[in-house]
Copies of this chain bind each other. A is one copy, B any other.
Amino acid sequence: MTAPAAEPIEHDVLGFLESAVNESPVEAMKPAAAPDTEIETPARQLVIINWSGEFDRVMPTLIMANAAAAMGYQTKVFTTFWGLLPFVKDQKRIVGENWMQKMLAFMQRPGISHLKTSKMNFFGMGPWMMGVLSRKYSIASPKELLEAAEALGVEFMPCQMTMDMFGLKREDMIDGLGAPVGAATVLELMTQPNTASLFI
């Protein structure tokens, strides 16, 4: 069905894949996040790939993560692509090392308190209205939910490749964030028994 090895793969792609996997294939079963410990099968586990940085998608990520952690599930959130920007410190305005990265960060203002909605943003009116409605119905804000999740032991794992692409450094990020990991760690976690994985 596929064309196995029709052409030799170029070397830089292989090198890229190796860094994406972040371990050699043989080593891959021991994820980078916990290289020295045996991975035990969790009773129940939730793994979320938090790809989006928008208010209306970060909210379900944080609500599900909090609920799972409160129920005693092992809970991991892999923050990647646009989904890494909410985990930049709120007070950071411009991040990145070159003008392209600075421009991307400028247009997608990072930080958990600066989320936009995916539709009806209207220069911030959408998030404001949702904030008002949320408070009215006692729904916590993204910032409160993030703090609760950290306190409940939810593990937030930033994507190494995304940090490189946006030129983000460790000191740009919030304190609660774990060490950067690659795809292998996430794949290993997602395929364990009693585990639900969501791409949000």
- Given known A16-B139, A28-B71, A184-B71, contact A4–B151 (CB-CB < 8 A): yes
A39 part of interface (Cβ distance < 8 Å): no
Contact in complex: B9, A148 (CB < 8 Å): yes
Alpha-carbon separation in the docked complex, A64 to B161 (Å): 12
Task: Please indicate the chain B residues that have their CB under 8 angstroms from the CB of A113 in the complex.
Answer: none
Nearest CB on B from A137, distance (A): 4
Docked Cα-Cα span, A33 to B104, in Å, equals 42
Chain B residues whose CB sits within 8 angstroms of the CB of A147 once the complex forms: 7, 9, 13
Total interface residues in chain A, CB < 8 Å: 96
Is the Cβ of A144 less than 8 Å from the Cβ of B13?
A: yes
A133: contacting residue among B16, B100, B178, CB under 8 A = B100
Smallest CB separation, A106 vs chain B (Å): 11
Is B193 a contact of A165 with CB atoms below 8 Å? no
Q: Chain B: which residue is nearest A5 at the CB level? A: B151
Q: How far is the CA of A151 from the CA of B11 in the complex (A)?
A: 13
Cα–Cα, bound, A60→B82 (Å): 12
Once the chains are docked, how many angstroms separate the CA of A133 from the CA of B56? 28
A115: CB under 8 A from chain B?
A: no
Cβ-defined contact, A12 with B140, below 8 A: yes
Task: Flag if B2 contacts A70 (CB, 8 Å).
Answer: no
Among B2, B29, B64, B182, contact of A154 (Cβ-Cβ < 8 Å): B2
Query: Residues of B contacting A194 with CB < 8 Å?
Result: 191-193
6 nearest A-B residue pairs (beta carbon): A1-B178, A190-B196, A67-B183, A198-B199, A28-B71, A137-B164
**20 pairs from A and B in contact (CB 8 Å cutoff):** A1-B33, A1-B157, A2-B150, A2-B156, A4-B150, A4-B151, A5-B151, A13-B140, A25-B71, A46-B191, A47-B196, A60-B199, A68-B183, A73-B191, A100-B133, A104-B129, A108-B120, A191-B195, A192-B194, A198-B198
